[in-house]
Structure 1
Amino acid sequence: MRIKALAAIALAAMVINATGCAQNGDSGKTESGQSAAEQTVKEDNSTGNTQSSGEEDQILTKGPHGEQGVNADTITLSDEQKNAIKEGKFKVALCMHYGGNDWATAQINAIKDTCAELNMEVVAVTDANFSAEKQVSDIETVMALKPDAIISIPTDITATADAYKRAIDSGIKVVFMDNAMKDMEGGKDYVSCVSADSYGNGVAAARLLGEKLNGKGKVGMVYYDADFFVTNQRDAGFRDTLKKEFPDIEIVAEQGFTDENGCNEQADAILTQFPDIDGIYASWDIPMEGILSSVRAAGKEGKIALVAIDLGNNIALEIAKGTVVGVGAQMPYDQGVAETKLAALSLIGESTPAYVVCPAMKVDKENVLDAYKAVYHVDAPSWLLEADK
């Protein structure tokens, strides 16, 4: 088989990004011997829903199959569970859709850190560079390493489905990031799907833009033109919130993209057609970098309100400088921690929720330093502190 041949070649050539994992630290809050699902039900019953008290902790996104999102903060490990996980000395592999951005780096760091705390070995980290064919090969490759669990974000839920099914059928526990196969069920076929509150992040971006424009104006959207669940949710949250809460703001232009690094072209098209546009939204931070470049070239920096999703380093800097209004921020480090805990719980026979969500965070110049620490679990770097003065 061609796939098996590719897998053999890749296994020989791949540089395994492995972590020797010591038994140190605490991976979460201590609870008394309950499964994650039981703890979640307890939380749900005590509050009436899966939302925390603050508005930003509310879960607005439904799962890929319409599941109610469970707050990632409820996924905890008891001391007994931690000990069982450590004694298992489990192996984990990461199969990323793309590893070249700040979101992916934070996820990988969180998974490695949490694995280290739980005496789990990370045996491989792969990067498909948005290629479904490459990801299929990556999955076949890491299967040869016999991991107990794979944590992965699918590049294409149709093209990669068979590869994930082979991994699951071989006994490997699979935790999905952000998206899951249409014909698979969380808690049965795969362990769980963990995502940001993508719809909620779109809501946050719309509110930032609406407030900046005082509820009136004409705006454009630069969106990811693909059937990709999380970005579709973000864009829907943005559109719906403008329509509902800011009816005097009109979306006059929508430009789709498939290459995140070329979005100056989409921005140029919007600026050419609507030179007096008041604001532009982007589906995530890297496309916004291209939009900002185009806005600057047109001499309109500071005159057009810009919002996006994701607090990447470059966009955090622009928010601090005041050139970007703000973003709806994902919590990639927290997401990676939750994914690892869910994989570990499944490996000791515990039941887990089918869909787990990290709440959205609204970020602007007022809270960018605190937001940076919340998103990445490190203090704001000196360059961000300097820009925020």
Structure 2
Amino acid sequence: MLNRRALLGSATAFALALGLNAPAFADPDSALAALQETVLSKGPNGEEPTAPSTVVLSDEEIAKIKEMGASAAIVMHYGGNDWARAQINGLQTQFAAMGIEVIAITDAGFKPEKQVSDLETIMAQSPDIIVSIPTDPTATAAAYRAASAAGAKLVFMDNVPTGFVAGTDFVSVVSADNYGNGVAAAHLMAKALGPDGGDIGLVFHAADFFVTKQRYDAFKATIASDYPNIKIVDEQGIGGPDFSGDAEKAAGAMLTANPSIKGIWAVWDVPAEGVISAARAAGRDDLIITTVDLGENVAISMAQGGFIKGLGAQRPYDAGVVEAKLAGYALLGKEAPAFVALPALPVSKDNLLDAWKQVYSTEATDNIKSMMQ
């Protein structure tokens, strides 16, 4: 997979780099198709992306891991969405295939102090492996360093603690192409708005969180470079932990102050649910919403032809599988890539059911299927 992020300042240059005719990049459909052939994100420390297909364990290697009787803990930043559940499912499935016992799964509720406490509690059980996503890269760094010093092999999702170096302080970090998913959400917004464009607002994550900042930067850069007929007229940050409620308040204020707004981008699916609530309260049935992450509630909205017109999806189940395999690398002393990234997946109603299978490795829920009829 090639990294083209540096070219995003010029849509024409990016199109040419991918072998497209420059005018084709002005078409959202062409741009969305191109996204699935590349990875735009770099790692938290500027690492170039490695393809997940290169992370493999032979039958002999898996047999060796099974003989170790290793244990693992999964330390989440936040567990209240479909993305987190899919990550955990992928991890548990692959750990089971490797004979690794999962001894703890924690949810910090996006509170750094809770995650530090979770890590301290878990270390009393001496896990061989910790797979985690830091809520705050600075506030949690000392706790992760203590875990590493005690012998736990660390594999990260999306974000890494401040000052940590791959291959020394941790094994690897695995992520979706969050920059690419922000780009996808921008193109999907442009497609839904149509050739006339219009005013839009943004609901972003007001925290020092690497992947959500990537989405925000990517969305803004793509609108600015590719769609001069679309104007960002308002932005509101949310901090949580009530991300849906905070987003509802932010979007409500935005719609009141800017009645010209035709669309709102939300940083992930749970805040997008809050934007839906705000749109309903404001009587704005015509509002267009795009986001990142394919949760069930936004999928139902999309299936109904409702507010959600498109989103950039991560592949959390597959990411969990890769993270577990990288933990196996560490147990074997096998050299691991510093940063593994999975391509963005643009999703609209047209490909919703197929996309759900790709994201969660299972059929769409009955609720989603019934709304597609």
Aligned to 1:44: none
Q: Distance in 1 between matches of 2:244 and 2:224?
A: 29
Q: Once the two structures are aligned, what percentage of the paired residues are identical?
A: 48
Corresponding residue number in structure 2 for 1:338:
322
1:220-239 equivalences under 5 Å are: 220-239=201-220
Q: Which residue of 2 is the match for residue 254 of structure 1?
A: 235
> Given residue 318 of structure 2, which amino acid in structure 1 is its aligned partner?
D
Instruction: State the Cα RMSD in Å.
Output: 1.7
| CA drift at 1:276 | 2.3
Give the 3 Å change call, closer, same or farther, for CA 54–83 of structure 1 in structure 2.
Answer: farther
Q: Equivalent residue for 1:356? A: 340
Q: What code does the residue aligned with 1:190 have?
A: F
CA shift, 1:57, in A, is 3.8
Corresponding residue number in structure 2 for 1:383: 367
Q: What is the DSSP-based 3-state SS (H/G/I as helix, E as strand, rest coil) of the residue aligned with 1:193?
A: strand
- Match of residue 106 from structure 1: 86
**In the TM superposition, what is the alpha-carbon distance from 1:349 to its structure 2 partner?**
0.6
Q: Which of 144, 153, 157 is equivalent to 1:173?
A: 153
* Cross-structure match for 1:12: none
Q: Which residue of 2 aligns with 1:81?
A: 61
- How many residues end up aligned between the 2 structures? 340
Once the two structures are superposed, the pairs formed by residues 137-286 of structure 1 within 5 Å of their partners are: 137-215=117-195, 216-259=197-240, 260-262=243-245, 263-286=247-270
Is residue 65–residue 182 contact of structure 1 (8 Å, CA) maintained in 2?
Answer: no
Structure 1: tracts of 5 or more residues without a match: 1-39, 41-48
Q: 2:310 aligns with which of 297, 321, 326?
A: 326
Matched AA of 1:278: K
2:165 and 2:217 map into 1 onto residues whose CA distance is 24
In 2, Cα distance between equivalents of 1:363 and 1:71: 21
CA apart distance, 1:226: 1.0
Q: Distance in 1 between matches of 2:103 and 2:124?
A: 11
What SS does structure 1 have at the residue aligned with 2:284? coil
Which deviates further from its counterpart, 279-288 or 85-94? 85-94
Residue 73 (structure 1) shift: 2.5
Distance 1:73 1:54 in 2: 19
The residue aligned with 2:288 is 305
Q: Which amino acid aligns with 1:286?
A: V
Deviations 1:171-193 (A, max 9, x none): 11000111012311112210011
Matched, 1:69 2:53: no
Aligned AA (1:128): A
Report SS of the residue matched to 1:366.
helix
Secondary structure in structure 2 of the residue aligned to 1:278 = strand
Aligned counterparts of 1:137 and 1:298: Cα–Cα separation in 2: 41
- Which one is further off, 211-220 or 149-158? 211-220
Task: Give, in whole Å, the separation in 1 of the partners of 2:293 and 2:259.
Answer: 26
Q: Aligned with 1:119: secondary structure? A: coil
Amino acid aligned to 1:194:
V
* Unaligned stretches of 5+ residues in structure 2: 2-17, 19-32
Looking at structure 1, the residues matched to 62 and 114 of structure 2 have their Cα atoms a distance apart, in angstroms, of 35
Trace 1:277-296 onto structure 2 (pairs within 5 A): 277-296=261-280
Q: Distance in 2 between matches of 1:273 and 1:127?
A: 36
| Contact kept? 2:35, 2:344, Cα under 8 Å | no
Shift in Å, 1:236 = 0.7
Residue type at the aligned position of 1:365: K
- The alpha carbon displacement at 1:297 in A equals 1.5
Aligned to 1:95, the other structure's residue is in SS state strand
Q: In the aligned structure 2, how far is the partner of 1:94 from the partner of 1:175?
A: 10
